[in-house]
Amino acid sequence: MTLTYFDALPRSYVDVDTSKGVDTQQFLEATEGVVKLFDLLGSTAFAAVQKDMNGNIKKIRDRLLANPAANANLQDLLANESSEKKRVATEGLLWLTSLNNTSEELNVSFTKAYEETLKKHHNMFVRPVFALAMKACPYRQAFYEKLGVVTEAAREQMETWLKALESIITIIQKVFEENPAYIKGM
């Protein structure tokens, strides 16, 4: 049996508890696995993307650690931060949940997410680094092979992981839609 990238994850999105809101710690653990996914692409062009994602994870984790009980789920974290002038964790979560179209080629999906969220925060020196990373994205099929998705069982495992991720993204995007003040000015 061939192991896949998903077999090696310490926490899968499938295992993130959403019954009382999206569990913040579990979400962060699963998202750290996504950051490591870029290592499989074999290009140093993704170092900036990984750094940025890790920075966003840190923003959310710092908020969680400041008050674990109050920020145990992402919905509460967003609500608790909403009255603050700088909504650092909210901004991090907004970007981390903006990659939501799994049917597009990776470079298209990543580029759209970057342009809609982070680009305005980056200067003229950083923007080309992200543009280079987007051009270094492999085609979806080649990427699947790097993930070890070469059998029907592996494809089903990946699809289950993707559905769990998409479900979490949908939950968080709904929170943003229902509470536009959370992301106003971002």
Is 90 exceeded by the pLDDT of residue 19? yes
Tell me which of 118 and 178 has the higher pLDDT: 178
Taking CA atoms, 86 is separated from 14, 37, 52, 59, 82, in Å, by 31, 30, 18, 12, 9
pTM greater than 0.85 (yes/no) = no
Task: Specify whether the CB–CB gap between 169 and 97 falls below 8 A.
Answer: yes
12 vs 41, residue with greater confidence:
12
Go through the domains of the chain in sequence order and give each one's CATH number. Answer: 22-183 (1.10.3520.10)
Q: Which one-letter DSSP state was computed for residue 41?
A: G
pLDDT on residue 99: 58
Instruction: Indicate whether 105 pLDDT > 60.
Output: no
Maximum distance among all Cα pairs of the chain, rounded to whole angstroms? 52
How far is 167 from 90, CA to CA, in rounded Å? 18
Higher local confidence (pLDDT), 121 or 183: 183
- What pLDDT sits at residue 88? 96
pLDDT at 110 over 90: no
pLDDT digits (tens, 9 = 90+) for 113-166: 666 666 666 767 767 766 666 666 667 788 888 899 999 999 999 999 999 999
For residue range 30-69, list pLDDT tens digits in order.
Answer: 999 989 988 887 767 678 778 888 999 999 999 999 999 9
How much is the pLDDT for 117? 61
